[in-house]
Amino acid sequence: MNMAFTIKEASERLGCSAPTIRYYEKEGLLPYIKRDKHGNRLFEQDHLDWIRLMKCFRATGMKMSLLKQMVNLALDGDSTIPQRKSILNQYKEDLFRRQSELAEALDAVNNKLSIYEDIEMGRASSESQLLNKMENQQHSASDREG
């Protein structure tokens, strides 16, 4: 067994472009890719799994430079596990920060949307200053211009 994939197969399975994969390899994020006799890359399942993981981390804000640090540490063996844990724990903090940013944004969007509905239903007006139209944060809080 030990099935190997061409770059095209890999890119199809992963949903990321072949140039991107090559770029990752060039940047050192993807060590130990073997080649066939013609110099064509051969990806194994392990590589696909690692790329998939990188994709997941990248999509949530991890920098390539951090991925590279982790690769380099991994290549240095198990003695670097504490450092890798520390990187991942920092990244985890980052994820939590992003979660609360998302929650905040969701609140703000919902607030805006309900303001718009109020305006549509005639329950509120879009105030004087033009910016207020986008900007009317209070939403039926203070109405001292009766």
Partner DNA sequence: ATAATCCTTAAACCGCGCTTTAAGGCAACC
Partner DNA sequence: GGTTGCCTTAAAGCGCGGTTTAAGGATTAT
Strand partners, 5: 43
In angstroms, the CA 4 to CA 2 distance is 6
Q: How far is the CB of 114 from DNA (least distance, A)?
A: 26
41 binds, among its own copies, DNA, none (CB under 5 to 8 A by kind): DNA
Cβ-based neighbours of 16, under 8 Å, separated by 6 or more: 51, 55
As a whole number of Å, the CA-based R_g of the chain is 25
> Which neighbouring-strand residues pair with 132?
none
**According to the binding rule CB under 7 A, does residue 20 interact with DNA?**
yes
- Asked if 58 contacts 78 with a C-beta cutoff of 8 angstroms, the reply is no
Which range, of 22-30, 77-85, 112-120, 126-134, touches DNA by CB under 7 A?
22-30
58 or 112: CB nearest DNA: 58
User: Pick from 120, 141, 142, 145: which binds its own copies (CB under 8 A)?
Assistant: 120
For every residue of 33-102, DSSP letters joined together read -EE-TTS-EEEEHHHHHHHHHHHHHHHTT--HHHHHHHHHHHHT-GGGHHHHHHHHHHHHHHHHHHHHHH
Binding segment for DNA (CB under 7 A), chosen from 33-41, 99-107, 108-116, 138-146, is: 33-41
CB of 51 to DNA, least distance (A): 11
Which positions lie near its own copies, rule CB under 8 A? 31-32, 46-47, 49-50, 53, 56-57, 59-60, 70-71, 74-75, 77-78, 81-82, 84-85, 88-89, 91-92, 95, 98-99, 101-102, 104-106, 108-110, 112-113, 116-117, 119-120, 126, 129-135, 137
Contact residues: DNA, CB under 7 A: 6-9, 16-20, 22-23, 26, 37-41, 58, 63-65
